Amino acid sequence: MNRRAWALAAFVGAVLLVPVQARAAQGCQMPPGVPERRVSIDWTDAGVETNDTLDPSQIAAMSRAAPPPPGTIIRGLTVAETALGIKSEMAMWDDGRGGICVQPTHVTVRVGFEKPQRVYIQAGYAQGSCPRRMIQEHEQGHVRINRDTLIQHLQRIQYAAYAVLANNDVWPARSTSREAAGRMVTDSFRRVLTPEMDYYRSRRDVMHAQIDTPENYRNTARSCPVW
């Protein structure tokens, strides 16, 4: 079984100032010396941890998924948290009117699993036993869905971030201070990437539901003579 409500969206905006070889501009025209704009993806995967110390009632209490069919005993569960972070490098210069101009130049989107995915298996099953193998096999299916679906979504995330970065109707933008300019940049990416992560989660949950079915549960139960 898979716990659905996983997503942890952690947005971290790091403002790294890029020196610009120009005097204060009148308005926010792009001065010379601003680096080419680019987006990097920083994939992180902390692996998988297995916990086999809980009984079925304790495992069921941790699940946030829809209740299983009546009579079903939850013997396994996979829990994961997806992390998303943003680090922005940006050029800033005085606009000649008491304000600050800002142009993001390099955005690194850190995405993946900063904490291990946790697989819970009912306590009491020996290594190599049929029930443990079947539970492990089912939960590894959830682990693969979490990881593979997010990997397949990385290109969409990168394109979405670049669309923000390359929007000449928005950048360079004017702000009242360096701090406010940094927040403006981070918020611009957050508004676009949050829906992208929501879309990833919706696709992932559909795939999880395809293996968490009454038929699959019955097939798993019939695979071992004794549970």
Inside any domain, residue 2: no
Inside any domain, residue 8: no
Please report which confidence band the pLDDT of residue 6 belongs to, taking 50, 70 and 90 as the band edges: very low
Entry pTM = 0.85
> What is the rounded CA–CA span in Å between residue 126 and residue 205?
31
The pLDDT, as a whole number, for residue 68 is: 66
Residue 74 contacts residue 62 (beta carbons within 8 Å): no
Inside any domain, residue 175: yes
Please report which confidence band the pLDDT of residue 195 belongs to, taking 50, 70 and 90 as the band edges: very high
Domain range for 147 is 15-222
Inside any domain, residue 10: no
Please report which confidence band the pLDDT of residue 26 belongs to, taking 50, 70 and 90 as the band edges: very low
The pLDDT, as a whole number, for residue 69 is: 66
What mean pLDDT is predicted for residues 54-75?
82
pLDDT in tens, 199-222: 999 999 999 999 999 899 889 999
The pLDDT, as a whole number, for residue 185 is: 93
104 pLDDT higher than 50: yes
Inside any domain, residue 134: yes
Inside any domain, residue 9: no
The pLDDT, as a whole number, for residue 117 is: 97
What mean pLDDT is predicted for residues 31-49?
93
137 pLDDT higher than 60: yes
> What is the rounded CA–CA span in Å between residue 164 and residue 157?
11
> What is the rounded CA–CA span in Å between residue 177 and residue 55?
55
3 pLDDT higher than 70: no
- Provide the number of structural domains found in the chain: 1
Inside any domain, residue 177: yes
Inside any domain, residue 5: no
Residue whose C-alpha is closest to residue 197's, from 55, 98, 78, 84: 84
